[in-house]
Amino acid sequence: MQLSSNVLIPANKPPRPLFFKPRFCSNPNSPESNSLQAETLKTLEWGSVCKQLSAFTSTSMGSAAALNARLPIGRTRRDSQRLLDQTSAARLVAEPLDFSGVHDLTEILGVATSGHLLTIRELCTVRHTLAAARELFDALKRVASASNHPQRYLPLLDILQNCNFQVGLERKIEFCIDCKLSIILDRASEDLEIIRSERKRNIEILDSLLKEVSSQIFQAGGIDRPLIVKRRSRMCVGIRASHRYLLPDGVVLNVSSSGATYFMEPKDAIDLNNLEVRLSSSEKAEESVILSMLASEIANSESDINHLLDKILKVDLAFARAAYAQWMNGVCPIFSLGNFEGRDSVEDDDDTLVTQEDDDLTVDIVGIRHPLLLESSLENISDNLTLRSGNAAEFGNGNGTMASKYMPQGISDFPVPVDFKIGHGTRVVVISGPNTGGKTASMKTLGLASLMSKAGMHLPAKKNPKLPWFDLILADIGDHQSLEQNLSTFSGHISRICKILEVASTQSLVLIDEIGGGTDPSEGVALSASILQYLKDRVNLAVVTTHYADLSSMKEKDTRFDNAAMEFSLETLQPTYRILWGCTGDSNALSIAQSIGFDRNIIDRAQKWVEKFKPEQQQERRGMLYQSLQEERNQLKAQAEKAASVHAEIMSVYNEIQGEAEDLDQREMELMAKETQQVQHELEHAKSQIETVIQKFEKQLRISGRDQLNYLIRESESAIASIVKAHTPADSFPINEADRALYTPQIGEQVHVKGLGGKLATVVESPGDDGTIMVQYGKVKVRVKKSNIIAIPSSRKNAVTSSSSTHQGRQSLRNGEYRDNVDNKTNDDISYGPVVRTSKNTVDLRGMRVEEASIQLEMAINASRPYSVLFVIHGMGTGAVKERALQILQNHPRVTNFEPESPMNYGSTIAYVK
């Protein structure tokens, strides 16, 4: 497996002098850059991220690679994009693949190549691993072929496409060894088969002989029971010491501890035992030859097997990255062009044509959270996440990006999501702001996001994060004081920056925390400004944090500089941990010191010194303007978020209602088909019953006399009449036109309305003089002609609930009857909205146990909004889950009433929650 060369042991080199002219280094794999990269990975806590990923691996090889931070990191943009495509493809696989048969064969291959024999268990391990690798590839091909877009799985299939799965070696081991019984089979070689056949025949003869001799000794009183044992690798019989004479030519092989029993080999068994010893030795020798042959085959295939294991490891890590992304709800990043790559189309390192995006941002990341800080908020909901599920993401554009469904609830506000907005042409970003405001954590998040995207990981952010591909990520964060090397804080800080300037290239990302700190402020500002001027011409992007206000003014003289500030709330005197791009932040030292509890005299004296350095009016105007802009920005942001949330919820409900409406006709056709099928079934049943009566009549007619003929006819006619009456509906005749003209619906009565496609509506007003009647369907009231209203037959009125969308006269079923239960509220005062089923007002209890269904229903009722409708799906029939659900609905204090199953809602009960 090709791993990044960035993770190497730092070179033990003496410290460089503090002041020298850095030389440009274009080799990202030089010893200096490797040493700095290793320190950067440690600074950014890359090992902790890899440890998080290790929990999602499926093989011991993948777990070891992740725990040792040996994950593959792309050496080029194309390599990193290939890793991202593999992760995206793995997220599409709905069911996790089976890696259980894959084992790490490193030690076994080492034993085989050293010329030693392999045990049967080791050979079976090799066979199982080869078979599991082949089955893994076949499973991937089945997933791709079953998809409507098989090309989406090509990044995974390409990993194993040209691998040698060593099918011949696998089948050779299978031919020679039975792995279930852990034995070498007779068919492994002709000599082994012959030896075992002769040995079997010899053992049968020897056993027969010893049984006969032992039986004779037993009959002669020489032993309590016939006894045949093996002593000194030879078969013999037991005999009392006093009866040795029964075997005059026998050989004593052993004596019991008491000396009362001898174990003797009869004379006739000596040659047979000698043959058994020779055949046993020959069998072991032949088995060793077979094991040696198989070990040699494995040794000859070592390179192919190692190559196959490397590919399997890549597949395992791809699925681990996918599960990790699903766990933290990550999205796939997009690689943008860096500042040195220009605005036009360019060629990357692999001669791949890259087109610059239309927007003006080279780094555009929205709502990213630090994955290590995110772990504490995610571990509480990890049990509810379905890992390795492909239904939460789909491919987007050609970069292989995936649009993951961002979880609206469940993730807390910690850590605070951070946005990065860095435009094209910006090469140095200066972040200012108070201590503990989040500058360092934000900078680490950017560095870690760059590393994760290079390693093919999705980012815990929103939308489609975009950032350049960096060849080197170099960071100076923290105190590098060293007593052994006689380095102060400033010396350690500046020594590391000196090495960074030496190895950085035009594709590098440089992160420097508190640049120029630890020394005289005037010299620190001068040195920091010089370093930033040097970086702007030699790196892709540099992000530095500082308390020096003069560094923020460099943007006014050079457009390649940009500022950012950490937001600070003047009301609470606490940082908000959000970045304000394009702004300059104040340290707010006096405000923080005052909130901590400093003496007021100290604060006042410091304020006077501040007023000497900054004109009073300018400072006051600046503070007021900043506060006003902050308030306006917060208001606009809150309004935008509220509007976006309302719009998303409205669109979701609209789409679900539209889908339900489109499905109504199909459900009506299915209902008619079901009713037709039921009528046909009843007709066949009636015919069968009548045929039975006729057969009975004919049978009795043959054995009865003429005087019983009339009685039999009357009896058969009565039975047939009973059958016909049982299968005849009570009100099966339609209302004729005369009855329809005389029919006048009453207020509150439910009727069929032709204009509504035969749907049920409720009469809300008495018929007018113009021959029209006001009816209500859902929340819509409309006048329709009386001729368009059809009464419901009396047989169906019992099956149709008296409730309408206004819910007048709504009753709940308790103790077999409907009763009012609205808790001192009239039905006219309650408005539940349209009775339309959506995913938000539905709880599905099918397939659950009674206890689990009870908990889920109770939670759904408690989580429902006041005066809302809840659809409870419990399935057809009268099972325990349905019975328990109805019992809960009857007794729950928030359920005003509920409607049982209806022809349009089979297996579902509608509950009205107050």
More confident residue, 508 or 33: 508
Identify the CATH number of the domain defined by range 842-913. 3.30.1370.110
> What is the 8-class DSSP label of residue 334?
E
Contact 720, 691 (CB under 8 A): no
| Paired tokens of 518 | 């630890």
| Paired tokens of 180 | 């279930």
| Percent of the chain residues past pLDDT 90, beyond the cut | 35
- At the topology level, CATH places domain 418-611 in Rossmann fold (3.40.50)
- Residue-wise pLDDT for 746-791, tens only, equals 787 888 776 565 567 888 887 877 778 888 876 567 778 777 788 7
| Paired tokens of 358 | 């239309």
Which residues does residue 160 pair with via DSSP β-bridges, in sequence order? none
Least confident of 89-93, 545-549, 602-606, 805-809: 805-809
More confident residue, 716 or 367: 367
Query: How far apart, in whole angstroms, are the C-alpha atoms of residue 24 and residue 504?
Result: 7
Reported as half-sphere exposure (CB side, CA atoms, 13 A), residue 848 has a value of 19
The answer on pLDDT for 699 being more than 70 is yes
The answer on pLDDT for 611 being more than 80 is no
The residues, any chain, with a CB within 8 Å of residue 549's CB and separated by 6 or more, are: 432, 584
Give the pLDDT confidence score for residue 903 in this predicted structure: 57
- Residue-wise pLDDT for 120-173, tens only, equals 999 999 999 999 999 999 999 999 999 899 999 999 999 999 999 999 999 999
Give the pLDDT confidence score for residue 493 in this predicted structure: 74
Nearest to 788, CA basis, from 816, 764, 755, 742 = 755
Please give the backbone phi and psi of residue 797, each rounded to the nearest 5 degrees, phi first.
-65, -30
Contact 734, 720 (CB under 8 A): no
Contact 858, 911 (CB under 8 A): no
597: left (phi over 0), alpha (psi -120 to 50) or beta: left
771: left (phi over 0), alpha (psi -120 to 50) or beta: left
Based on the number of CB atoms within 10 Å of its own CB, is 662 exposed (0-12), middle (13-18) or buried (19 or more)?
exposed
Question: DSSP characters for 838-858?
Answer: -GGGEEE-TT--HHHHHHHHH
Query: How far apart, in whole angstroms, are the C-alpha atoms of residue 785 and residue 741?
Result: 12
Query: How far apart, in whole angstroms, are the C-alpha atoms of residue 471 and residue 479?
Result: 25
The residues, any chain, with a CB within 8 Å of residue 304's CB and separated by 6 or more, are: 164, 166
- Residue-wise pLDDT for 315-336, tens only, equals 999 999 999 999 999 999 999 8
Asked whether this chain's domains 418-611 and 842-913 adopt the same fold, the reply is no
Domain boundaries, the chain: 33-186+288-335, 190-285, 418-611, 621-691, 842-913
The answer on pLDDT for 914 being more than 80 is yes
* Structural element, H or E, at residue 256: none
- Residue-wise pLDDT for 567-591, tens only, equals 766 555 456 667 787 766 555 566 6
| Paired tokens of 268 | 């006739």
Least confident of 239-243, 428-432, 609-613: 609-613
Place of tokens 């560095």: 447
| Paired tokens of 252 | 């004593």
Please give the backbone phi and psi of residue 550, each rounded to the nearest 5 degrees, phi first.
-65, -30
Mean pLDDT of the chain: 78
Place of tokens 């089955």: 135
> What is the 8-class DSSP label of residue 315?
H
Q: Write the class of the CATH domain 190-285.
A: mainly alpha
- At the topology level, CATH places domain 33-186+288-335 in MutS, DNA mismatch repair protein; Chain A, domain 3 (1.10.1420)
More confident residue, 123 or 640: 123
Biggest CA–CA distance in the chain, Å, is: 136
Give the pLDDT confidence score for residue 78 in this predicted structure: 95
Report the predicted TM-score, pTM, of the whole model to 2 decimal places. Answer: 0.60
The residues, any chain, with a CB within 8 Å of residue 792's CB and separated by 6 or more, are: 750, 751, 752, 760, 800
Query: Residues in the chain, how many?
Result: 914
Nearest to 199, CA basis, from 257, 312, 118, 278 = 278
Give the pLDDT confidence score for residue 636 in this predicted structure: 87
